[in-house]
Chains A and B, each alone.
Chain A
Amino acid sequence: MRIYSHFVSGHLINQFLIVNDETMEAIMIDAPDLDGNIIEIIEKNRIKLKGLLITHSHEAHVASLGTIFKIYNPSLYAFFDNVSGYEAVRVNDGDVVSVAGMEVRCFHIPGHSLDSMCYLIGSALFTGDTLQSGYIGQTRALIEKELLIQGIKEKLFTLEDNTLIFPAHGSLSKIRVEKMFNQDILEANITIFS
């Protein structure tokens, strides 16, 4: 398995392409503004885009769905069965699906948005906006923040400490690092959960 990362400057989003080394089939995480670089990675390496996993359907994360479907024909996976008018395969918490010959474990962690999903492929966890390096996704109300942190603690912090985190914004991380240094969660332990 090989992971290509690309920083999309339009919405400051990290876009990831996970490639199965044996078949050169790939999964793309989210569809932010599409620029030439990610297309170049796909074309130059003769990658076959088989799956598109949506972490949540905020505009910045699905902006290029139309363009992607004009060029490629990947299966779309998301929490809802329709993303911006495109039919998706519905995935829910605990589901394990096979995409591009790779096993994808799905986690539904609402809080930042109702349809927020995280995906574990091998030992790489793609967290979207749910869990970022040192932060959690923005929430509009305290109850959503509580729900989000509870979901992260119960579903993600129970994964192996060496699991690598690939968030939609900012730098990479590991479960061990987030348990120790995630400021939003550390603060919430005092203000919400104490």
Chain B
Amino acid sequence: MEDCHTYALPDSPYCYHHTEDKRKVLDNLIERAEKEKNIENISLVNAEFENVDFSECFIGFNNFSFCTFTSCDFSASRLVSNFFDYAVFENCRLTDLEARYNVFSGAMIINSDFSGSNLILSSFMGMDCYQSSFNGTDLYFSNFSLSKLINTSFEDSNLKRCSFSSALLRSVSFRYSNPEEAFFRNMKS
């Protein structure tokens, strides 16, 4: 499509949105996640996933912008350089991740659990996050600036060089963490 700027699917001239059989593309991906435990170099924009098991997968170099993940399990997965910008995560399990260079900017995270994950060098800029947990995470060099964090906890987490500039924090707990090593500037109330 000449006027479509979305990245094409692997081995296809079309992006997910313009492909004929979206269901087949999704089924292939889910099968790869469940059997091969490996998802690499795929661009799926605006796709919807419900109750998918992505646990213990290697998920690398993918573009999942504007996707919706409902009740999905990513626990103990390895996430490298993925784009989840403007995605929605609802009731998802993202515990014990080994993650770096992932982008969650503009995402909406509701009632999801990131506890015990290594989330270094990740971007959560402009994210809306409700009733979620980042307890026991390593957020070294991560960025939550301009995000809205409500009823969310960052207990016993590493916040060194993590930025919360211009973020709105309501009922957020930093108990047993090191907020003195994080950046707080222009906080909103």
Contact = CB atoms under 8 A, between A and B. Distances in A.
A binds B: yes
A81 B105 CA distance: 38
Interface in A148-190: 160-162, 164, 170-174, 176-177, 180-181, 183
A12 B141 contact: yes
A181 B142 contact: no
B136 interface: no
A177 B125 contact: yes
A133 B147 CA distance: 14
B180 to A, nearest CB: 19
A164 B125 contact: no
A174 B143 contact: no
Contact of B121 (A160, A171, A183): A171
A155 to B, nearest CB: 18
B163 interface: yes
Interface in A123-156: 123, 133-134
Is chain A's binding surface mostly helix, strand, loop or mixed? mixed
A161 B105 CA distance: 14
A171 B79 CA distance: 13
A164 B6 CA distance: 12
Contact of A183 (B65, B142, B165): B165
A5 interface: yes
15 contacts: A3-B81, A5-B101, A12-B141, A12-B161, A14-B121, A123-B7, A160-B5, A171-B102, A173-B103, A174-B65, A174-B83, A177-B85, A177-B103, A177-B123, A181-B126
